[in-house]
Amino acid sequence: MVKKVEVVAAAIFSKCGSQLFIAKRASQSHQGGLWEFPGGKKETGETPEQALNRELNEEIGIQVEQSSPLIKLHHDYGDKLIELDVYIVSEFSGEPHGAEGQITRWIDFCDIDEYDFPEANYAIIEALKLQKR
């Protein structure tokens, strides 16, 4: 039986809106070594917004002040079915960093195609490109 995983993720833009914050997945994790949008698994009873706030605080040390839904998607990796709620975080407090030791960086949004992401993330990237037009 395929495991279903509910996940939240965030496209975090800099104050000027031209840079995007990404993190690199640990090599031993599912889809390891690829870049991703920060986020993580929802816990039982959490709303997507609660999970987003908790995960971003734990993973990259920020508190979300303003976010809006971008896209909800499902992706089947074969061994895992991902349900992904993605938000744009436009305002936050704190300085994003790899609070769990992961590699992170700000990138120019126009350079996003130079980074390798998990397959499910390409729908997120396309949604962001459509919104940026």
pLDDT digits (tens, 9 = 90+) for 51-94: 999 999 999 999 999 999 999 999 888 888 889 999 999 999 99
| Residue 102, both tokens | 């992961």
pLDDT digits (tens, 9 = 90+) for 80-91: 888 999 999 999
Q: What CATH homologous superfamily does 3-132 map to?
A: Nucleoside Triphosphate Pyrophosphohydrolase (3.90.79.10)
pLDDT exceeds cutoff 90 at 113: yes
Buried b (16+ CB within 10 A) or exposed e, 50-65: ebbbbbbeebbbbebe
pLDDT score, position 8? 87
Q: What is the pTM of this model?
A: 0.89
Q: Residue 39's CB: how many other CB atoms inside 10 A?
A: 24
DSSP state of 95: -
CA distance 75 to 71: 13
| Residue 133, both tokens | 């037009």
For 111, how many CA atoms within 13 A lie in the half-sphere containing its CB? 10
Q: 64 by DSSP, 3-state: which? A: strand
Sorted by where each begins, the domain ranges of the chain are: 3-132
